[in-house]
Amino acid sequence: MNPVALITGGTRGIGLGIAKALAKEGFDLAVNGMRPQNQVEDVLLSLQTKQNKVLYCQGNIGINKDRSRILSELKSEFGRLNILVNNAGIAPKERKDILEATEESYDEVMDINLKGPYFLTQEVANWMIKQKAESKNIFFSIITISSVSSTVSSINRGEYCISKAGLSMLTKLWASRMGEYEIPVYEVRPGVIKTDMTAGVIAKYDQLFKEGLALEKRWGTPEDIGTAVAALANNKIPYATGQVINIDGGMTIQNL
């Protein structure tokens, strides 16, 4: 029986990189996204192997009824969940200076980026506790994808930075709560990753990498993040609950 992973925002960008890595490792996948299923069929087929199953769970994790439906569909298909990957997230529709940012933008970003993962984790954590009681030797884990923006400020997307900083505390809180059940909780903190979210700033970051933005002078890739998540999902980094795994090419190392 394959382990099962739920990846939110798993049909594009970093989430797709994670889904591909876990598919290679033999996981059955529940992939969440907001697009209708007929728009992601090619993606779902790319994740299908001879050994695994792939379920698409459409919905907005920032909405309570969608979260409940996603988990209901997952339970109906697989009856179990070993790994939750909180990855879904959005950037502000418009990058505005914090002197001009709107409450509407703040609410939208925070609902999807922070409130959704917080309450999805709550539901999944309670289910994992029950599963763990029945299967003590099976590995369960919660992995949250944050960003270097959790500690690096960008004054033209303050709501995004605040949401990612909140995810860092989410990891600490759930690691503290799940410790007694031996269910580890991790944070993977990507640097600048080449995805559709960063497509509009390629020239800017190409130049910044040339100027030394990171110690490794290249963009990060979804595959880089997928490799890290696969290691965590397979318990290859034990005795490390609550820890941050920085996948940023050395971007956040301070140098004199």
Q: Which two tokens stand for residue 86?
A: 């909180």
Query: Which listed residue (56, 106, 118, 160) is catalytic?
Result: 160
Known active-site residue 160 = yes
59, 36 Cβ separation under 8 angstroms: no
CA distance 216 to 237: 23
CA distance 21 to 49: 12
Residue 170's Cβ-count burial label (10 Å; 0-12, 13-18, 19+) is: buried
Label the pairing between strands 54-58 and 185-190.
unpaired
Amino acid code (one letter) for 211: E
Q: Who contacts 85 (Cβ-Cβ below 8 Å, separation ≥6)?
A: 5, 6, 7, 8, 10, 15, 18, 143, 144, 145, 229, 233
Best CA proximity match to 209, nearest among 155, 256, 251: 251
Q: Which two tokens stand for residue 169?
A: 């505390």
Active-site residues, by number, are: 160
